[in-house]
Amino acid sequence: MTTPKVLISDALSEAAVQIFKDRGIEVDFQPSLGKDKDKLAEIIGNYDGLAIRSATKVTAKILENATRLKVVGRAGIGVDNVEIPAATSRGVIVMNTPFGNSITTAEHAIAMMMALARQIPEADRSTQAGKWEKNKFMGVELTAKTLGIIGCGNIGSIVADRAVGLKMRVIAFDPYLSDERAVALGVHKVELEDLLRRADFITLHTPLTDKTRNILDASAIAKCKKGVRIINCARGGLVDEAALAEAIKSGHVAGAAFDVFVEEPATANPLFGLPNVICTPHLGASTTEAQENVALQVAEQMSDYLLQGAITNAVNFPSISAEEAPRIKPFVTLAEKLGSFLGQLTEAAIKGIRIEYEGEVGKLNTRAINAAAITGVLRPFMPEINMVNAAAIAKEKGITIEEVKSSHEGDYESLIRIVVEAEDMARHAAGTVLQDGKPRMVEIRWIDMDAEFAPHMIYIRNDDKPGFIGRFGTLLGEAGVNVATFNLGRDQAGGNAICLVAVDEAVSDDLLRAIEKIPHVKRARRLKF
């Protein structure tokens, strides 16, 4: 395996560089490159991994040039700066570090709330300017005030915990917050309208989605209690900035503390310059501790994937642990090849794919194996398919995917059988991995076989009648085709037979037609693995 190469295009902690080096990965640390999208597009083709924070925008255009790229690692939480569908369709894993900076970000929200309650930035400016405006900066107490949390996930929950410690009353709107979790956190679960009506402070902690964009728009802000203070340390776009600016000017909203903006870097913004507005430049995650956490974690996760195929915290693929990755790998290869065998033989529209696991293999994490099987079956029809986008493509095409597991052990410790339901018929083939780690096909159309996969093969279905092998060998010899291995199977003497032959080069259409003319041959097909 060639040494994988990673580009760090944002200001990650140097801890990440060291981890990559220690793991034997070549690393290029260019902390400001992410801001230069043309340069990034120009060099991204040289890398297997890209480690980022929020300044690098991984667009479809960048991904088009990322011919070697296997993984994007986000040292942080939000992946809204990565075009996930484009990454998925190119087979690029996108992973984040979902907890590494959550305490730090929650602390920033609390700091913003306190700064807002006591107008600390403005009081600081005034004092250091030599004014002593003691009467100007009258604050509000937090104790017994109501804090409304919109989005009570990892960060929102930590904010709730700290706010309870500050003796605030905490209410939360989050459709996915369970009643039990709310009780455990000491928060009251409420509807959004209720939260708007009751909260003295509102803090947002949801991702930016179609549902959360402008969740605080002009009409929501109008429903808020007069004198409300609003904190956003989650994502720009959750609050309509222009509507909020108007509400601050009218005195309906008493203040706002924003760390994130619709447009970043924010150089001009409707909120800038308004009284009692505090702004920070997306500093939520910026502490030494959090940056070290996320950098170490993302570098370990990316290295695990590039070196071992282990997947953690991917937003577009199921997890595979470092322990199971080497055990799964040979079965991934088997499933893809078996699937490919069936896909190459199928000419009618595919309606469903069933993946059956017998014996030990069924105890492994089979989601990656399923993805490999689907990829193999569908690749002859859709060359752009890969393990990362396979399940989504099957769903989009209306192809049903079924997984069946049985602990029954037959002749093999582990067996994978794939059944492809097409409009004309169902085709099935089964295979295993033996001690040598090589995948083998052991059953085709219920006929026992023992064939290894080779780059070029010929598949023949015929009646089990004398004379076929001689004629077939002569045809290949006359065409100058060298046979590497020859495998035969039949259901009974004189019944249906199958022949799988590995050859040194792809056979021509003329030769295939000649083979099909041999008496008793029903079908001859060229296969490529």
Ligand X SMILES: O=C(O)C(=O)COP(=O)(O)O
Ligand Y SMILES: NC(=O)C1=CN([C@@H]2O[C@H](COP(=O)(O)OP(=O)(O)OC[C@H]3O[C@@H](n4cnc5c(N)ncnc54)[C@H](O)[C@@H]3O)[C@@H](O)[C@H]2O)C=CC1
Residues noted as catalytic: 235, 264, 282
Torsion of CA 76, 78, 80, 82, to 10 degrees: 30
- 282 — phi, psi (to 5°)? 50, 55
User: Is residue 152 a contact point for ligand Y (CB under 6 A)?
Assistant: yes
- Residues 279-318: x/- map of binding to ligand Y (CB under 6 A)? ---x-xx---------------------------------
Residues 245 to 264 in contact with ligand Y, rule: CB under 6 A = 259-260
Relative orientation angle of helices 288-308 and 102-118, to the nearest 10 degrees: 160
Residue number with CB closer to ligand Y (78 or 352): 78
Whole-angstrom Cα distance, residue 511 to residue 501?
A: 14
Binding partner of residue 156 among ligand X, ligand Y, none, CB under 5 to 8 Å per kind?
ligand Y
Whole-angstrom Cα distance, residue 17 to residue 296?
A: 9
Asked if 248 and 276 touch (Cβ cutoff 8 Å), the reply is yes
- Residues 21-60: x/- map of binding to ligand X (CB under 6 A)? --------------------------------xx------
Residue number with CB closer to ligand Y (4 or 100): 100
Q: Of 4, 153, 330, 489, which lies in the binding site for ligand Y, with binding defined by CB under 6 A?
A: 153
Q: Where are the alpha helices (DSSP H) in 209-358?
A: 218-223, 241-249, 288-308, 325-345
- 311 — phi, psi (to 5°)? -125, 120
Binding partner of residue 53 among ligand X, ligand Y, none, CB under 5 to 8 Å per kind?
ligand X
Q: Is 1 exposed, middle or buried (0-12, 13-18, 19+ CB in 10 A)?
A: exposed
- Residues 266-285: x/- map of binding to ligand Y (CB under 6 A)? ----------------x-xx
Whole-angstrom Cα distance, residue 520 to residue 223?
A: 81
Residue number with CB closer to ligand X (88 or 102): 102
- 497 — phi, psi (to 5°)? -125, 155
3-state secondary structure of 421: strand
Q: Of 62, 63, 72, 77, which lies in the binding site for ligand X, with binding defined by CB under 6 A?
A: 77
User: Is residue 100 a contact point for ligand Y (CB under 6 A)?
Assistant: no
Residue number with CB closer to ligand X (110 or 334): 110
Whole-angstrom Cα distance, residue 506 to residue 509?
A: 10
Asked if 198 and 225 touch (Cβ cutoff 8 Å), the reply is yes
In the complex, the smallest distance separating the C-beta of residue 297 from ligand X, rounded to whole angstroms, is 12
Whole-angstrom Cα distance, residue 113 to residue 147?
A: 10
Closest residue to ligand Y, based on beta-carbon distance: 153
Asked if 225 and 250 touch (Cβ cutoff 8 Å), the reply is no
Residue number with CB closer to ligand Y (87 or 524): 87
Residue number with CB closer to ligand Y (76 or 376): 76
Q: Of 29, 35, 61, 78, which lies in the binding site for ligand Y, with binding defined by CB under 6 A?
A: 78
In the complex, the smallest distance separating the C-beta of residue 153 from ligand Y, rounded to whole angstroms, is 2
Task: Point out which span in 40-48, 81-89, 101-109, 270-278 binds ligand Y (CB under 6 A).
Answer: 101-109
Residues binding ligand X (CB under 6 A): 53-54, 76-78, 101, 282, 284-286
Binding site for ligand Y (CB under 6 A): 76-78, 98, 101-102, 105, 150-156, 173-176, 205-207, 209, 211-212, 233-235, 259-260, 282, 284-285
